Amino acid sequence: MSDDLCFRPATELAALVRRREVSARELLEAHLTRIEAVNPGLNAIVTLDAEGARAAADAADAALAAGETVGPLHGLPVAHKDTHATAGMRTTWGSPLHADDVPARDELVVARLKAAGAIRVGKTNVPEFAAGSNTFNPVFGATHNPWRHGLSAGGSSGGAAAALAAGLVPLAEGSDMGGSLRNPAAFCNVVGLRPTPGRVPTWPSTLAWSQLSVQGPMGRTVADVALQLSATAGPDRRVPISLQDGGAVFAPPLESSLTGLRVAWAPDLGGRVPVDPTIVSVLAESAAVFEKLGAVVDEDCPDLSLADEVFGVLRAWSFEASYGDLVRRSPEKVKETIRWNASVGAALSGADIGRAEAAHTKLFEEVVGFFERYDVLLAPTTQVLPFRVEVEYPTEVAGVPQHDYLGWMRSCTLVSATGCPALSVPGGFTPDGLPVGLQVVAAPRADRRLLEVGHAFEQATGFGRRRPPL
Q: Which residues are catalytic?
A: 81, 156, 180
- Say which DSSP state 196 is in: P
Q: C-alpha angle with apex 315: 311 to 318, nearest 5 degrees?
A: 145
Hey, is 80 helix, strand or coil?
A: strand
Question: How far apart, in whole angstroms, are the C-alpha atoms of residue 210 and residue 197?
Answer: 9
Hey, is 119 helix, strand or coil?
A: strand
- Rounded to the nearest 5 percent, the helix, strand and coil shares of the chain are 40, 15, 40
Question: How far apart, in whole angstroms, are the C-alpha atoms of residue 267 and residue 299?
Answer: 8
Q: If you compute the radius of gyration of the chain from its CA atoms, what whole number of angstroms results?
A: 21
Can you point out the beta strands (E) in 284-346? Answer: 296-299
Quick one: which of 184, 226, 198 has its CA closest to 419? 198
Question: How far apart, in whole angstroms, are the C-alpha atoms of residue 206 and residue 129?
Answer: 14
User: According to DSSP H, which parts of 66-157 are helical?
Assistant: 108-115
Q: Helices H, strands E: what count in the chain?
A: 14, 17
